[in-house]
A and B are shown apart, each in its own frame.
Chain A
């Protein structure tokens, strides 16, 4: 379990970095931020504030700001709600970890259920089918039937 959590944290950290040191483009950043009036990413919005936010991002890129500096400025102004994906820190980390944890638990439960199901199945050759279609008969009942049939033959 601990190993799985460490792996998840490592994957998240790896996903979190990369790209921020390079000069960002408007097309990249438009996907990361939400237009506060229409609640869609900037790339999908034509509202006045989305246009203004695009202009702001363009200005900051031209001024040589990094992606993280631009993000900091937008969050300072509009709050964390402007982020299309929650930041990978603090309480928000739950939003990233919980789906992974949920998927891991689901896989575990499924694996346990499959193992139990396969163990509960009778092994071929050990069962004693009384008929082609039905379950095995009670031995006592079976001997009684044999006895009656024998009497009938007499």
Chain B
């Protein structure tokens, strides 16, 4: 009986250790996924972006990248307290207005921010493109983002394309990458 109890205790201890290792592995794999995206783009590969579902900033439902399959997407991570984001916002709005009829969607992801501040920012810069909210910033790690702003481009086939901007982009860079995303054939 004592021997059986000892065996159960040992099995439970092994199980706990295995669970901890699995949790650690899962966490590391999740972080590696983000780091890998940027490397893959640099190598000329076209990885799919992480499948994420965001809360809409206006509180009306959810937003997912999968909703825009067949369209080119400019995915811009921003925060109301980020200075360069203030310069980028009008450029993004202009691109959205100019190319939306061609099939472009600009998706802003406000992260690590107060909803109220973000909504004020949207109002102040008169932004009309879809806005997602990620208060705890979980999506940042999934993409391997390390700061604000960061911008990715998604082709019509739902895969990342073009450049990944870690920091602000210029008007020319934005135009060039929007063109690349729009010209991606739908597979």
A131, CB-defined interface residue at 8 Å: no
A79, CB-defined interface residue at 8 Å: yes
In the complex the two chains form, is A79's CB within 8 Å of B135's CB? yes
Cβ–Cβ < 8 Å partners of B58 in chain A: none
Instruction: Identify the closest chain B residue to A50 (Cβ).
Output: B81
Mark interface residues in B109-126 (1 if CB within 8 Å of A CB, else 0). 000111101000000000
Cβ–Cβ < 8 Å partners of B112 in chain A: 36-37, 49, 78
In the complex the two chains form, is A49's CB within 8 Å of B81's CB? yes
B137, CB-defined interface residue at 8 Å: yes
Cβ–Cβ < 8 Å partners of A37 in chain B: 112, 137
List A74-103 residues whose CB lies under 8 Å from chain B.
77-79, 81-82
In the complex the two chains form, is A56's CB within 8 Å of B114's CB? yes
Cβ–Cβ < 8 Å partners of A49 in chain B: 79, 81, 112-113
Chain B contributes a number of interface residues (CB within 8 A of A) equal to 12
Rounded to whole angstroms, the CA-CA distance of A82 and B137 in the bound complex is 11
Instruction: Identify the closest chain A residue to B134 (Cβ).
Output: A79
Rounded to whole angstroms, the CA-CA distance of A37 and B114 in the bound complex is 13
Mark interface residues in A36-71 (1 if CB within 8 Å of B CB, else 0). 110000000000110110001000000000000000
Rounded to whole angstroms, the CA-CA distance of A9 and B115 in the bound complex is 36
B136, CB-defined interface residue at 8 Å: yes
> Which residues of chain B have a CB within 8 Å of any CB of chain A?
79, 81-82, 112-115, 117, 135-138
Q: Which are the 3 A-B pairs with shortest beta-carbon distances? A: A79-B136, A48-B81, A36-B112
The 12 listed contacts between A and B (C-beta, < 8 Å) are: A36-B135, A37-B137, A48-B82, A49-B79, A49-B81, A51-B81, A52-B114, A52-B117, A77-B115, A77-B135, A79-B135, A82-B136
